[in-house]
């Protein structure tokens, strides 16, 4: 059976382009998505990157969708501590360093609790955090998030990121 003229060239071109397109799609980043490539997870995020947004956080909300949350981004790495003042739902707080690596997870923070939640454990040699991801309480374990996993996000310096955006 003969193929139409030009079919072979078109099929070859398509075969060469498809891997490049799918590889590119796998490494693309978006400001409203926190990606965890090791477990093929994307979390829809609102960004809190200025003092007013960080102060408000997820206060006064009565629900949070699965695979969604808020990503707090600091201007530079620093010691971070959060509380649950005016926060009506339990949250998992995921503390990330300058490379986007999860350094500490505080599960199921208690709603309305004023107790400070530190972003590092006592044995952490570098307690500075660049980002904190808040998701619904219990979601970190359910989704398989663990310390040591890298997050990809365009706010991370690609020269330092453990999972740089392409």
Residue 156, pLDDT > 60, answer yes
Domains along the chain?
31-143 (2.60.120.1140)
60: left (phi over 0), alpha (psi -120 to 50) or beta: left
Q: What pLDDT was estimated at residue 5?
A: 56
Length, in residues, of the chain: 166
Residue 7, pLDDT > 60, answer no
Residue 17, pLDDT > 50, answer no
Strand partners, 62: none
Q: Which has the closest alpha carbon to 80: 61, 108, 54?
A: 54
Q: What pLDDT was estimated at residue 26?
A: 43
Residue 22, pLDDT > 50, answer no
The string of pLDDT tens digits covering residues 26-78 is: 457 999 999 999 999 999 999 999 999 999 999 999 999 999 999 999 999 99
Contacts for 24 with CB less than 8 Å, ≥ 6 apart: 166
């Amino acid at each position: 059976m003969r193929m139409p003229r030009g079919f072979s060239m078109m099929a070859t071109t398509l075969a060469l382009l498809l891997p490049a397109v799918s590889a590119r799609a796998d490494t693309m980043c978006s400001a409203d998505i926190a990606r965890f490539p090791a477990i093929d997870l994307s979390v829809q995020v609102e960004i809190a990157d200025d003092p007013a947004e960080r102060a408000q956080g997820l206060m006064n909300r009565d629900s949070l969708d699965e695979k969604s949350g808020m990503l707090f981004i600091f201007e530079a790495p620093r010691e971070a501590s959060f509380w649950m003042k005016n926060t009506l739902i339990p949250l998992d707080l995921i503390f990330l360093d300058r490379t986007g690596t999860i350094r500490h997870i505080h599960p199921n923070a208690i709603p309305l609790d004023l107790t400070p939640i530190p972003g590092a454990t006592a044995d952490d040699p570098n307690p500075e955090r660049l980002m904190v991801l808040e998701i619904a309480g219990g979601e970190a374990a359910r989704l398989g998030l663990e310390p040591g996993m890298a997050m990809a996000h365009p706010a991370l310096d690609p020269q330092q990121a453990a999972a740089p955006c392409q």
